[in-house]
Amino acid sequence: MTLATANPLSTHTSANPAVTASAAVAVIAAATLAGAWFFQLALEILPCPLCLEQRYAYYLAVPLGVLMAFVAAKGAPRPLLLAGLAVLALAALANAGLGAYHAGVEWGFWQGPTDCTGPVGNLGSAGTLLQRLDTVKVIRCDEVQWRFLGLSLAGYNVLISLLMTAIAAWGFARTARA
């Protein structure tokens, strides 16, 4: 008995670039989100507004990547696969652009958005205003909280997003040729 006989989907799935690319993008996106939540919850490196916006592409890529891998394995029509892979590639590419913008704000190349001044919320009565202001923790987009090998988390987001873009584009190109 061969592996293909034991698992008939194995040869179909391994030869299907749409399955491979979609699943890889979903796994990378899920791992990246897990890392972001680890930094936030375990290491208490709180995200700024731009950091939170950069997560949106990953929140899209995980379910869409899983869905695309599933329907590709079931033999979905090529136009559907191409559309899904194009959405994955474009979302990751846009996220790389957002990450590059954020990294530029951190390096002082340009001004960041005004909402990176932190949450103000309800400050209560005038009598407790100063006390409440002391408890507000401002997470600024232009201050790096963590670097590794000279790159901030925004810089790593650029690299990860470009990798996801390349994988989705590879799957798109291979699926289009098949």
Tokens of 18: 């749409």
pTM here is 0.78
Question: How far, in Å, CA of 113 to CA of 72, rounded?
Answer: 40
> What is the model's pLDDT at position 5?
45
Task: Count Cβ atoms within 10 A of the Cβ of residue 160 and give its class: 0-12 exposed, 13-18 middle, 19 or more buried.
Answer: buried
> What is the model's pLDDT at position 125?
60
First to last CA, the chain: 29
> What is the model's pLDDT at position 117?
47
> What is the model's pLDDT at position 105?
85
> What is the model's pLDDT at position 129?
64
> What is the model's pLDDT at position 107?
78
> What is the model's pLDDT at position 52?
87
> What is the model's pLDDT at position 131?
65
Question: What pLDDT tens digit does each residue of the chain (178 aa) get?
Answer: 544 444 444 444 457 999 999 999 999 999 999 999 998 899 888 888 888 899 999 999 999 999 999 999 999 999 999 999 999 999 999 999 999 998 888 877 787 777 664 445 555 566 666 666 566 566 766 776 766 787 788 889 999 999 999 999 999 999 999 7
Cβ 36 vs Cβ 55: under 8 Å: yes
Question: How far, in Å, CA of 62 to CA of 73, rounded?
Answer: 17
> What is the model's pLDDT at position 71?
96
> What is the model's pLDDT at position 119?
46
